[in-house]
Amino acid sequence: MKTDAKKQKTETINRVMGIKEWSLIVILSILWGQTHIESSLASILNATTPIFSVVLAHFLTKEERLTTNRISGVAIGWVGVAVLIGIELLRGFGVEVIGQIAVLGATLSYAFAAIYGRLLKRFKPKGNIGDYQNLKVLIEF
């Protein structure tokens, strides 16, 4: 029964992460967010992917646990992001804040994808991925 639950969880993750439109949603949220915030701010927010990855890995993997050093690194990282963003951008709630949330949501999605990809490393492909891509292009052409 435990195997069935694990299989169902894996299939659910595959459905969510495997949707082609999901990557489109992520990219569009960054694009939309950048219409309401400066690109430099979007770059800073997009650089928070490793910070999210460290925290998410603690909850989603068995190997990567939060240690004192990692917690310190996450805290220092968020302080650095706050310093780079500036306090004045954190005041008020307008379309700029929604743009920041959109970019952070996309960044969080990147962190999930990185962890998910790492969990799939135990599966070995039967061939070279480049060969499959070339074959697909030939078939579609």
Q: Where are the domains of the chain?
A: 2-140
What is the percent of the chain where pLDDT is above 90? Answer: 21
The closest alpha carbon to 56, from 43, 44, 70, 41, belongs to 70
Count CA within 13 A, CB hemisphere, residue 43: 4
Taking only the tens place, the pLDDT of each residue in 19-73 is 555 677 888 889 999 998 888 888 988 989 999 999 999 998 888 889 999 999 9
- What was the pLDDT predicted at 54? 92
Please provide the average confidence, as pLDDT, over all residues in the chain: 78
